[in-house]
Structure 1
Amino acid sequence: MNITIAAASSRLPAAASPRRLPTMSGVAIFGGRDKAIQNMSKYSERYPLDGYYDVIGHGSPNDIAGQSAQEIAKKIGPVTEGQNIRLLSCSTGCPSGSFAQELADELGVTVMAPTTEIGASGTGKSFVFYDGGEWRWFQPKKVR
């Protein structure tokens, strides 16, 4: 399994890029580097969400790239620096599953997750929810 994890400070924009504002977000990519993952990575780079650490990978209501919330938390916890998490992973916020809530509980932060399949264009300029999806926010049941 291919995992790329970048510390939060690694996503600070170059001084020569006037359209990007400084952000403390970072990114972790789980799974392969197929076209869908590459497109979502471009979206993440183009539109970082200040104060959120992005997690990208093929998701389901109960896992990302076959890994549980506990496994993902162990891998990203040391580099997220207490930031909230934006899951750019299909269906991880689906009401029929528990992944996003479990990740919020494990890390003690807010997790933002899509309820359905999602996609990004090849340039990363556009993002879409399929089948009427939306973002849901999950608060930790207990703060660590």
Structure 2
Amino acid sequence: MNGDAVELSPRFLNKHDQLYKNIEQVKPLEGYQDIVCHGDAYGFVIRNADGVETHLTLREFGEILQQTPGFEKGKPIRLMACEAGAGDGLPAQYIADLFGVEVLAPTDILIVAPDGTMKIGKNNDGVWKKFEPRRKFQ
């Protein structure tokens, strides 16, 4: 990641991204740590300051997260990544299994307003879905 990215935080956004600005207003969820990244139902995306996207496999993202200062291993996660909980919730379930913790993830696109309010889906018809670890990766 380049100097325009938030590198010392489990928030994988660049400072030119509107989500970077809006996410600062989101209220923490007691008992959870927020992991913020662009994503979809299959994986994660890091977008640099020029808008160039790097698609990461679940494994790549897990490895990056493990090495990220500020990430609290063993603490439940609110995974703020679009569609990470959609369908079978492949990204969310992978993270739950990898770290052996509960993960909350949106079932549709996550829209974060400038005041920090969030809705899931364009019509606010999505939900936060809970994923429990099924197995621990080694």
**If the TM-score is normalised by the length of the shorter chain, which range does it land in?**
0.7 to 0.9
Instruction: Compare 94-103 and 76-85 and name the one that shifted more.
Output: 76-85
Aligned residue pairs total 119
- The one of 76, 86, 92 equivalent to 1:94 is 86
Aligned partners of 1:96, 1:142: CA distance in 2, in Å? Answer: 16
TM superposition shift of 1:139: 0.7
Q: 1:96 to 1:110 in 2, by over 3 A?
A: closer
TM-score (norm 1): 0.72
TM-score normalised by structure 2 residue count: 0.75
Cα distance in structure 2, aligned partners of 1:96 and 1:108:
18
Over residues 12-67 of structure 1, what are the superposed CA-to-partner deviations in whole Å (9 max), with x where a residue is unaligned? Answer: xxxxxxxxxxxxxxxx1114331123212321xxx111221111121101112122
Match of 2:34 in 1: 54
* Structure-2 separation of matches of 1:102 and 1:135: 16
Report the counterpart of residue 106 of structure 2 in structure 1.
Answer: 114
Q: 1:127 aligns with which of 113, 118, 121?
A: 118
Q: How does 1:29-44 map to 2 (within 5 A)?
A: 29-33=11-15, 34-43=17-26
Root-mean-square deviation over aligned CA pairs = 2.0
Check conservation: 1:60, 1:92, Cα contact below 8 A.
Answer: yes
Q: Distance in 1 between matches of 2:30 and 2:43?
A: 25
Q: Which moved more, 1:30-39 or 1:70-79?
A: 70-79
Identity percentage of aligned residues: 29
Whichever residue aligns with residue 71 of structure 1, its letter is E
Could you tell me how far 1:127 is from its partner in structure 2?
A: 1.2
Write the letter of the residue equivalent to 2:135.
Answer: K
| 1:87 Cα deviation from its structure 2 partner | 0.9
2:95 is aligned to: 103
CA distance in 2, matches of 1:56, 1:5: 13
Q: Are the aligned partners of 1:105 and 1:141 in contact in 2 as well (CA < 8 Å)?
A: yes
SS of residue matched to 1:140: coil
